[in-house]
Structure 1
Amino acid sequence: MTQTTIEKRAYTEQETAAYIGMSRSFLRQARMEGHRGNRTVAPPFIKIGRAVRYLKEDLDQWLNNHTKLDHLSQEVAYYA
């Protein structure tokens, strides 16, 4: 018997939270509120019927778009 491994392209909310290291409540809240003030923008998502899914390539891009900091004082300069 041959076992085939299929790499998922679309992740559930629970899988997404684990993949990006954020909570499911962050995903829900960010999805409902959109971009507000100093809050972190949610990763892009798709809806298939009532199901919410996140595409792996969107998650990778979302993670890559966040600034890497050496220390917290950079964050102040970055947002100034």
Structure 2
Amino acid sequence: MTAAEQHEEQRRPLATPDELAAYLGVSKATIYQWSSRGGAFPLFRVGRHLRARWSDVDAWLEKQAA
């Protein structure tokens, strides 16, 4: 990844559990279960809110397709 791509990735908005659930077509509870079991993308706290990096979600999806 080039420096420009890394900089752009850093500025990309973080995903909320609601956004992830809608994007993946599953319930928010499923998002929480996947993350807590360590089998999917990590959710991390930003203040009191849970967020995920879209790059982690994309990487996880690529692994699922392989």
TM-score strictly above 0.5: yes
The one-letter code matched in structure 2 to 1:22 is V
Identity, in percent, stands at: 30
2: CA distance between counterparts of 1:31 and 1:62?
11
Deviant stretches of 4+, over 6 Å: none
Structure 1 counterpart of 2:64, from 63, 66, 72: 66
The one-letter code matched in structure 1 to 2:13 is R
- For the 8 Å contact 1:12–1:52, the answer to whether it is kept is yes
Larger helix proportion, structure 1 or 2? Answer: 2
- Normalization by structure 1: what TM-score? 0.56
Larger radius of gyration between Structure 1 and Structure 2: 1
Deviation string, structure 1 residues 1-27 (Cα, Å, up to 9, x no partner): xxxxxx952011100111122221111
Segments of 5+ residues of structure 2 without an aligned counterpart are 1-10
1: CA distance between counterparts of 2:20 and 2:12?
11
Q: How far off is 1:44 after superposition?
A: 1.7
* Alignment match, 1:12: 16
Structure 2 counterpart of 1:52, from 50, 53, 56: 50
